[in-house]
Structure 1
Amino acid sequence: MEPLPISTPHCRIERDGHIVTVTMDRQEARNALSTDMLVGLADAWQYISDEPEVRVGILTGAGGTFCAGADLKAMGTPSTDPRVLKRSQEIPDFHWKGLLRDSGSLPTKPIVCAVEGYAVAGGTELLVGTDLRVVAESATLGLFEARRALFPMGGSAVRLPRQIPYAFAMDVLLTGRSITATEALAMGLVNRVVPDGQALDAAREIAERVTECGPLAVQAILRTYRETLGMPEAQALQVSDGIGWPVIGSEDAKEGSLAFREKRPPVYRGH
């Protein structure tokens, strides 16, 4: 696959049919975050949302490492790439958008995370912003900020206790210790642990399963979760109904029922 034109020197973005793969590629710094990487990530999430035929994204890292966190110097230094420099001035809060922190501009389609090696500090914060997560068995996760008298600005102090049990979240956040893949699975932080070198293949398998579902239904489920977070159940169900009924009446829903009766794979078109 050829990288899309929105790729940057530290972020490779490729499309294969309904799936977009986003690869953090700054191997000399264990894929630590930089301006070039964050602009690429921000543009990738927007592309995934905007392209009607794209149904799911995969986020991974090159060279056997996911992301070793923030490189404050590189994040504060303007890019030497003209297009990245221009985009960094055009995208409001591109740091937060790239980190999947800005709830108002999260991708409207699911993101599958494929982790090998280190996914620490900002790397774990990126993972927490994704929807489905695969990690290699020797991967290392963790939010080290408190150990360095820093704060997890990517949103994990808010999100992590909402995603996993409180005691586990506080263990990760307040001790700043590293977490193994097995521990992350036991906490419910990740979906699957796979042998080293197989995280991307496993993520691709999950992404393909997502593409087999009705895209309107998948996006509506994701949207409903986000829009009802923190609402009382009765209010949340009203929002859910408003989002769900149009999906029930869609052409894709008719196709799903017809394909089931005819014992064939459905052909969903997103309308």
Structure 2
Amino acid sequence: MTSPPDVIRTERVGDEDKIFVITIDRVERSNAFDSATARAMEAAIDEFESDDSLAVAIVTGAGPTFSAGQDLKAAALGDFATTERRGGFGVMALRPSKPLIAAVEGDALAGGLELCLACDLIVATTTTRMGLPEAARALVAIGGGLFRLPQRIPFNVAMELALTGKPLPATDFHRMGLVNRITEPGGALAEALTLAGDIAAAGPLAVRASKQIAQHSFEWSDEQAWTEQMTYARPVLTSDDTQEGLRAFAEKRAPVWKGR
């Protein structure tokens, strides 16, 4: 089973085109992923990662559904939504070093939720449902959901989702802290763009370092963290941008970042 080349669309938006919007466009398959879609997503993530003018990316879905996960019809033919380098959906195993926001309209189930968990921030709507239905179908969620979800919501709630396969409304995930912002239906992308704009206005080196330290924090003991964080923080603290940030604060003006 193959997909046309435009199953992943990209657009540069915002002030100075610093925001990269990645849209999954397989509406006829509820934005489910096959291998071609995963490769297209990997290419989009690679473009985002390699372009220093891009500060933050948003992943969203065309049509009424964010993503139904793995395309099961494709899977039945041996066509799985993974790439050798970035893994599931072209992003789950090797995430970008810069921030990634999920803008979720409609449902994010199975791999759709796992795609959200590969992102750093999530914006969803009052009608969005999220869950891991795999066990109810005699499948196992292997896109990161079973080890990332318990890190981001209470363990017992993650267990209920994993073992029953029943979804919960995004409003519950918002209450538990997984979803950053809730909007009315149709407003997820606009709210994600507002959030992305706030990130794009911050110092790009500091944003990237902050993401890396936070992600690695789960691997470090408290004692290790004091030393290990400096691997990422030291180049920022000695950068031109840090000096510019301090000057701009003292002079009560907006900073002009150079990314160095």
Secondary structure, counterpart of 1:141 in structure 2 = strand
Give me the whole-angstrom Cα distance separating, in 2, the residues matched to 1:95 and 1:241. Answer: 29
Match of 1:19 in 2: 19
Q: Which runs of 5+ in 1 are unaligned?
A: 1-6, 79-87
Contact 1:97 1:106 survives alignment (8 Å): no
8 Å CA contact retained: 2:33, 2:89: no
Matched AA of 2:145: S
Match of 1:70 in 2: 70
Whole-Å Cα distance in 1 between the matches of residues 159 and 182 of structure 2?
Answer: 22
Q: Give the number of aligned pairs.
A: 252
- Distance change >3 Å, CA 245–CA 96, structure 1 → 2: same
Q: Could you give the per-residue CA deviations for residues 189-215 of structure 1, whole angstroms, max 9, x where no partner exists? A: 211110110000000000010000000
Q: Is the 8 A contact 2:86 2:92 kept in 1?
A: no
Alignment of 1:179-218 (within 5 A): 179-218=168-207
Deviation at 1:93, TM superposition (A): 4.5
Pick from 104, 114, 117 the counterpart of residue 103 of structure 2: 114
Q: What is the letter of the counterpart of residue 169 of structure 1?
A: A
Residues 23-172 of structure 1: pairs in structure 2 closer than 5 A: 23-74=23-74, 92-93=84-85, 95-96=87-88, 98=90, 100-102=91-93, 105-172=94-161
**1:262 counterpart (223, 232, 251):** 251
Match for residue 84 of structure 1? none
Give the letter for the 1:205 counterpart: T
| Contact 1:64–1:197 under 8 Å retained in 2 | no
1:20 match: secondary structure: strand
Please tell me the residue identity of whatever aligns with 1:53.
S
TM-score (norm 1): 0.88
RMSD: 1.9
* 1:118–1:139 Cα contact (<8 Å) kept: yes
Q: 1:226 aligns with which of 208, 215, 219?
A: 215
Per the normalisation by structure 2, the TM-score is: 0.91
Contact 2:152 2:178 in 1 (8 A): yes
Which residue is equivalent to 1:82? none
- Residues 118 and 71 from structure 1, CA distance in 2 versus in 1: closer, same or farther, beyond 3 angstroms? same
1:59-108 alpha-carbon deviations (Å, 9 max, x no partner)? 00001210012113335567xxxxxxxxx9xx62554261x321xx3101
Q: Hey, what's the Cα distance between the residues in 2 that align with 1:221 and 1:69?
A: 29
SS in 1 for 2:6: coil
Which whole-Å deviations, capped at 9, do the CAs of 1:122-163 have from their partners, x for residues lacking one?
Answer: 100101110010001101111000101100010111111111
Distance 2:188 2:136 in 1: 29
Identity %: 38
